[in-house]
């Protein structure tokens, strides 16, 4: 029944003026309730990890391997736009952006960084691999800087480059600047003298990504890549309270995580970086800070298949880092609740409310990938994550 008919139905056959007035008031009240409930009927009020998550157009959010930037009262979610089928993990479209005020309801803001046409020869040509985009705000320049893992088209995962793009508008369009391997010609701050002196020979060989024949130090992979820059695949960004920004990426054939300081514009590396978790094959890094301590959540290295999560804590972002183990509680399969970390989001205005953001990849139909968002719990210097089928912010 339409609202108009409902009102009529309530008012009809009433001749007594008083009753009529009362009924009219009553019907106005009913109409207001109907209108209010219509207005809010599409509102999402809870997180349902693993379910379809519709945007303002009713379309499942398409922002995988993503991260969130909070700016001027709104959250902006940037992620990989996937397409249908088992070829949908390559970049056919670009980086998708959504905005939200409440973290449940997301508005489609379109493609923030578009891939270039096929045949253009651009490093971000359609069909390249463009993963784990993150955007940070640069206060000094009042602009937005996006970094991502880039594999130019046709090279599989051998490129291991980092791409950077900038925009004066948070939602884009972002202008692609360049893609390169970070920190060419620079030794890490914690490189040993042996490594630097060449006392440990480097065979110059590249390995598959999931394992090495020996410890990365005895292969001296840093020396192998000294001239051309260090390999950089899975990545995240972190801006500290002093506005220094860091790029955190899986390097040395994924065996070792690098934490690298960016320049003041956030558009290049500075040569200041450290190696962490040597030979641990940490992927999918997500960093946050709480009570002056830095935390990392990471995964192991098994491609699109989920594996057991890892976590770590440090007093200094460049290290020493101490591993804390798997933060997941009740995760019987030990597969991070069938997801892989991508970001940990501090919720604005809520003390100690942080959200784990993970991807449940679906490589057979990439666009169908799901989002596993779960609340962090804290105990001492450790954080934990528990499974919830549905939950809301406190």
Interface with ligand GAL by CB under 6 A: which residues?
Answer: 65, 131-132, 234, 283-284, 301, 303-304, 340
Nearer to ligand GAL, 154 or 303 (CB): 303
Q: Could you tell me the smallest distance in angstroms from the CB atom of residue 157 to ligand GAL?
A: 7
| Helix, strand, coil distribution of the chain in percent, nearest 5 | 15, 40, 50
State the nearest-atom distance from the C-beta of 284 to ligand GAL, in Å.
5
Strands 328-329 and 382-386: parallel
* 32 contact partners, CB below 8 Å, separation of at least 6: none
**Shortest gap between Cβ of 128 and ligand GAL (angstroms)?**
13
**Nearest distance in Å: CB 220, ligand GAL:** 24
Q: How far is the CB of 64 from ligand GAL (least distance, A)?
A: 9
3-state class (DSSP) for residue 195: helix
Q: Which two tokens stand for residue 164?
A: 């950077």
279 contacts 212 by C-beta, under 8 angstroms: yes
What is the rounded distance in angstroms from the CA atom of residue 252 to the CA atom of residue 202?
12
CB atoms within 10 A of CB 51: 12
Q: Which is nearer to ligand GAL, 53 or 281 (CB)?
A: 281
Please check whether residue 320 is in contact with residue 306, taking contact to mean a CB–CB distance below 8 angstroms: no
Contacts of 166 (CB under 8 A, 6+ apart): 143, 144, 145, 146, 174, 175, 177, 267
**Which residue number places its CB atom closest to ligand GAL?**
303
**Min separation Cβ 65 and ligand GAL, Å:** 5
Q: What are phi and psi of 226, to 5 degrees?
A: -55, -45
Query: 216 or 285, CB closer to ligand GAL?
Result: 285
Backbone CA torsion sign across 127, 129, 132, 136: negative
**CB under 8 Å to 180, separation ≥6 — which residues?**
161, 162, 229
Token output for 54: 């519709």
Ramachandran class of 65: left when φ > 0, alpha when ψ lies in -120 to 50, beta otherwise? left
In whole angstroms, how close is the CB of 233 to ligand GAL at the nearest point?
6
CB of 211 to ligand GAL, least distance (A): 13
Q: Which is nearer to ligand GAL, 217 or 234 (CB)?
A: 234
DSSP state letters, 174-188: PEEEEEE-TTTT---
Q: Which is nearer to ligand GAL, 94 or 318 (CB)?
A: 94
Nearest approach in angstroms of CB 283 to ligand GAL is 5
Nearer CB in complex with ligand GAL: 230/336: 336
Compute the radius of gyration of the chain from its Cα atoms: 25
226/373 with CB nearer ligand GAL? 373
Nearer to ligand GAL, 171 or 255 (CB): 255
| CB 165 within 8 Å of CB 71 | no
Q: Are 163 and 124 in contact (CB under 8 A)?
A: yes
DSSP H/E element including 10: helix 3-11
**Strand pairing of 310-314 and 321-323?**
antiparallel
Instruction: Please say which residue, 174 or 249, places its beta carbon nearer to ligand GAL.
Output: 249
CB of 341 to ligand GAL, least distance (A): 9
Are 366 and 83 in contact by the 8 Å Cβ rule? The answer is yes
- Residue among 156 and 330 whose Cβ is closer to ligand GAL: 156
């Amino acid at each position: 029944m339409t609202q108009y008919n409902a009102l009529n139905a309530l008012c009809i056959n009433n001749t007594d003026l008083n009753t009529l007035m009362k009924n009219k008031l009553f019907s106005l009240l009913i109409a207001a309730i109907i209108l209010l409930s219509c207005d809010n009927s599409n509102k999402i009020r809870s997180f349902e990890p693993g379910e379809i998550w519709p945007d303002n157009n009713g379309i499942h959010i398409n922002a995988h391997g993503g991260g969130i930037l909070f700016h001027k009262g709104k959250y902006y979610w940037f992620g990989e736009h996937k397409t249908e089928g088992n070829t949908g993990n390559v970049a056919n479209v670009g980086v998708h952006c959504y905005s939200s005020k409440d973290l449940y309801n997301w508005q489609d803001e379109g493609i923030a960084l578009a891939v270039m046409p096929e045949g253009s020869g651009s490093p971000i040509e359609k069909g390249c691999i463009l993963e784990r985009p993150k955007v940070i705000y640069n206060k000094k320049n009042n602009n937005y800087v996006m970094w991502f893992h880039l594999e130019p088209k046709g090279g599989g995962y051998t490129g291991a480059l980092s791409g950077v793009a900038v925009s004066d508008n948070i939602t884009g369009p972002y202008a692609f600047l360049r893609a390169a391997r970070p920190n060419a010609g620079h030794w890490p701050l914690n490189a040993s003298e042996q490594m630097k002196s060449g006392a440990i020979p480097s065979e110059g060989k590249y390995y598959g990504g999931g394992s090495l024949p020996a410890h990365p130090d005895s292969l001296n992979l840093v020396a192998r890549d000294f001239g051309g820059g260090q390999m950089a695949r899975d990545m995240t960004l972190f801006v500290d309270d002093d506005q220094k920004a860091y790029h955190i990426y899986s390097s040395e054939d994924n065996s070792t995580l690098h934490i690298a300081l960016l320049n003041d514009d956030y558009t290049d590396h500075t040569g200041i970086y450290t190696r962490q978790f040597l030979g641990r094959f940490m992927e999918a890094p997500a960093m946050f800070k709480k009570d002056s301590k830095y935390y990392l959540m990471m995964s192991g290295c098994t491609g699109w298949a989920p594996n057991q999560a890892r976590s770590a804590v440090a007093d200094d972002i460049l290290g020493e880092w101490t591993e804390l183990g798997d933060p997941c509680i009740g995760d019987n399969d030990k597969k991070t609740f069938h997801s892989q970390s991508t970001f940990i989001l501090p919720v604005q205005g809520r003390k100690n409310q942080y959200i784990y953001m993970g991807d449940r990849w679906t490589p057979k139909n990439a666009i169908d990938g799901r989002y596993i968002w779960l609340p962090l719990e804290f105990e001492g210097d450790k954080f934990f994550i528990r499974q919830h089928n549905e939950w809301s912010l406190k």
